[in-house]
Amino acid sequence: MKRALCIMALVCRMALSLVASLPVVLGFYGDQLPQAFVQLVEEYPVQGVILFDRNVARDEDGQQDPEKLAALVQEIRSIIPDARVLIDQEGGRVQRLKGKNFFDAPSPISYVQKIEISPESRPKVMKLLCDNTHRIDQDLLRVGINVSCAPCCDLLHPYTHDFLRDRTFGGDKDTVVECCLNVIRTMHRDGIIPVCKHCPGHGCAISDSHASLPRAKGSFDELNQQDFDVFRKVATAVKQEKLSPCWCMVSHVLYPSIDSESSATFSKKIIDLIRSNIGFGEMPIISDCIAMNALTGPLWERAVRVLQAGCNIVLCSHLLDEEGESATYEEYRQLLVAVQQFLELYKECSGEISPECFEQFLTETASNFRSFL
């Protein structure tokens, strides 16, 4: 109980320490900042934004234009000073920056495949991984991006869903740890903040959290010795080698052996496990995108449930009910209002909100939003 209270107090302190910004990272539509989005984040300052291919303007040859992207990031920072600008640039299938103007990095699994074919090549492959990570980082730095949502620390299993398989560094625990740490060390040297994902492990699930809520396979002991242990070894090295800042992204996966009712994103038990047992401690924990279909409910409710569970930052890359340049971002407004009110309640409660009080907060917030419709 004392440990849980300490965790919640930590979240409260970290969130309130932002002072001028809410612990939220948002995505937007289009290769220019929409006026509705600008007005919203001016009224409710956020910690940062996440960028996708949809946000990168093209040059006259139809290629992604680094100069135009750099100008967009500069404009973002004119509105959100010291903004964290995030992107998924893992290599392989998951690369938001593409084409002849950016480095086309190989998939994470390709490095492991080289080692499997020729075990003696391991040192050269690890150097190649570091060199390629540096090339990715250089692309990010020249356009002003400072947070890379990588590496995937997920352990590959025979039953891992296809959406994740080639994004992993394979199924050998030691190799996954070595690869992930080489990526993190390189990012640290380059001045990019890494995001270890999808903690405490998505490879142990058989479905895609973009489409539905996956269930993890295995007992607690099995998961703790395999999937969780990858993140544990990474977190230990990050602390020992002073590789902070380093973020941890929590998965939208149900781990029945720990919490049979809530996905990791909404589970105090699992967030506490990530901080204590796995060892991420006071490192910032960010949710995976809360607009994914693994979760249910309106965006504002998902956001406050994430914070109530103990995450430090809410990530939301897109809206549920709107898309494109005509979006009004009203869902985001509700999300930000709810987060602001939630943090005020946290402060009043000295970092401890009982389940009963939280449910009352949800009911009253839903009623208030309905009254404005």
Tokens of 185: 């060390």
What pLDDT does 373 receive?
54
Query: Is residue 76 a contact partner of residue 134, using CB atoms and an 8 Å limit?
Result: no
**What are the pLDDT digits (tens) for 10-46?**
444 444 444 469 999 999 999 999 999 999 999 999 9
On average, the pLDDT of the chain sits at: 93
The count of C-alpha atoms lying within 13 angstroms of the C-alpha of 301, restricted to the half-sphere facing its C-beta, is 16
Lookup result for tokens 């006026």: 35
Q: How far is the C-alpha of 66 from the C-alpha of 227, rounded, in Å?
A: 37
Place of tokens 């969130």: 15
The C-alpha atoms of residue 95 and residue 351 are separated, in whole angstroms, by: 38
Q: How far apart are CA 362 and CA 358, in angstroms?
A: 6
pLDDT at 372: 65
Sign of the C-alpha dihedral, residues 101, 138, 110, 255? negative
Residue 219 has pLDDT above 70, yes or no: yes
What pLDDT is stored for residue 350 in this prediction?
84
Q: For strand 94-95 and strand 89-91, is the pairing parallel, antiparallel, or unpaired? A: antiparallel
151, with CB counted inside 10 A (0-12, 13-18, 19+), is buried
Domains present along the chain, CATH in parentheses: 13-337 (3.20.20.300)
Query: What counts of helices (H) and strands (E) characterise the chain?
Result: 13, 10
pLDDT one-digit tens code per residue, 134-173: 999 999 999 999 999 999 999 999 999 999 999 999 999 9
- pLDDT class of 1 with cuts at 50, 70, 90: very low
How far is it, in rounded angstroms, from Cα 161 to Cα 11? 32
Q: What is the C-alpha separation between 371 and 276, in angstroms, rounded?
A: 42
CB contact at 8 A, 106 and 94: no
Stretch 181-199: mean pLDDT: 98
For 310-338, give one letter per residue: b (16+ CB within 10 A) or e: bbbbbbbbbbeeeeeeebebbbbbbbbbb
What's the rounded Cα separation, in Å, for the pair 20 and 35?
21
Q: Residues for the chain: how many in total?
A: 373
Nearest to 69 by CA among 94, 41, 102, 92: 102
Separation CA 300–CA 369 (nearest Å): 10
Work out the average pLDDT over 186-207. Answer: 97
Q: What is the pLDDT of residues 108-138, one digit of tens each?
A: 999 999 999 999 999 999 999 999 999 999 9
Helix (H, G, I), strand (E, B) or coil at 342: helix
Between the alpha carbon of residue 213 and those of residues 36, 202, 205, the distances in Å are 32, 11, 9
DSSP 123-170: HHHHHHHHHHHHHHHHHHHHHT--EE---B-PPP-TT--HHHHTTS--
**What is the predicted pLDDT for the residue at 20?**
66
For residue 83, the Cα-to-chain-centroid distance in whole angstroms is: 15
